[in-house]
């Protein structure tokens, strides 16, 4: 709902009022990557990940170089379910 307000409703309201708004979407910490935990997973990859799981790190590393927010919703090519359940999101 917050995304709809930000991307659709606020622009419509601003247009109707002939003005502009600045806003941000606020999300919980679990929606962002914990770089410390990710670094630990990368360092421990041989011990804790299988070959397929290691391959999932590649698009993540590319995305991390380009993201401005670190919001996991931005990374459409990545299987967040796995890593969300294995602790790279912040708590």
How many CB atoms are located within 10 Å of the residue 33 CB? 21
Hey, where are the domains in the chain?
1-27, 32-91
Looking at the DSSP bridge assignments, the partners of residue 89 are 33
pLDDT over 80 (residue 88)? no
Contact 35, 61 (CB under 8 A): no
| Nearest C-alpha neighbor of 33 from the set 3, 4, 2, 74 | 74
How many CB atoms are located within 10 Å of the residue 60 CB? 21
Model's pTM, two decimal places? 0.63
Q: What is the mean pLDDT of the chain?
A: 80
Least confident of 2-6, 35-39, 74-78: 74-78
In the structure, what pLDDT confidence band is assigned to residue 7 with cuts at 50, 70 and 90?
A: confident
What is the model's pLDDT at position 17? 93
Contact 76, 60 (CB under 8 A): no
What is the model's pLDDT at position 18? 93
| Helix then strand then coil, % of the chain, to nearest 5 | 60, 5, 35
What is the model's pLDDT at position 38? 86
């Amino acid at each position: 709902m917050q995304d709809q307000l930000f991307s659709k409703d606020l622009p419509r309201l601003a247009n109707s009022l002939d003005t502009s708004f600045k806003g941000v979407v606020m999300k919980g910490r679990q929606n962002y990557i914990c770089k410390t935990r990710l670094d630990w997973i990368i360092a421990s990859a041989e011990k804790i990940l299988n070959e397929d799981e290691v391959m999932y790190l590649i698009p993540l590393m590319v995305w991390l170089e380009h993201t401005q927010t670190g919001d996991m919703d931005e990374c459409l090519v990545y299987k967040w379910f796995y890593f969300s359940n294995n602790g790279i999101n912040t708590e």
